[in-house]
Amino acid sequence: MGLGDALREEMRFKDGKMLNAKFSQYRVPRFKDVPEIETVLVNRPDLASVGAGETPIIGIAPAVANALYNATQTRIRSLPIRDLRFRAVG
């Protein structure tokens, strides 16, 4: 979800109307678009039940932008990050 926010997802508007209001036009990452994820379950009976991942999502876009800055010395200040200059950055 965080990579989708950082690299793809955007609501596009023109004249006050949403241009991509259909899910078929809204580009979210698919399983084929993201790396394999290893899940590690930690048994912590001493802690109360809490969320499993929603909060850390907000750090992914700044991390991607900072990685691109370190690689290119160009600051990214808007999302999604889709500038063609950065496609070559591995």
Ranges of the chain whose pLDDT falls below 70: 51-53, 83-90
pLDDT in tens, 18-38: 888 777 777 778 888 878 888
Residue 54 falls in the annotated catalytic set: yes
Question: Is 50 part of a structural domain of the chain?
Answer: yes
* Claim: this prediction has a pTM higher than 0.85: no
User: Hey, what amino acid is at 73?
Assistant: Q
Question: Is 90 part of a structural domain of the chain?
Answer: no
Question: Is 80 part of a structural domain of the chain?
Answer: yes
Domains of the chain: total: 1
Q: Which domain holds residue 35?
A: 2-85
Judge whether 80 and 6 are in contact, CB under 8 Å. yes
Residue 80: asked if its preceding bond is cis (omega within 30°), the reply is: yes
CATH of the domain at 10: 3.30.365.10
Which one of 9, 10, 38, 54 is the catalytic residue?
54
Question: Is 56 part of a structural domain of the chain?
Answer: yes
R_g of the chain, CA atoms, integer Å: 17
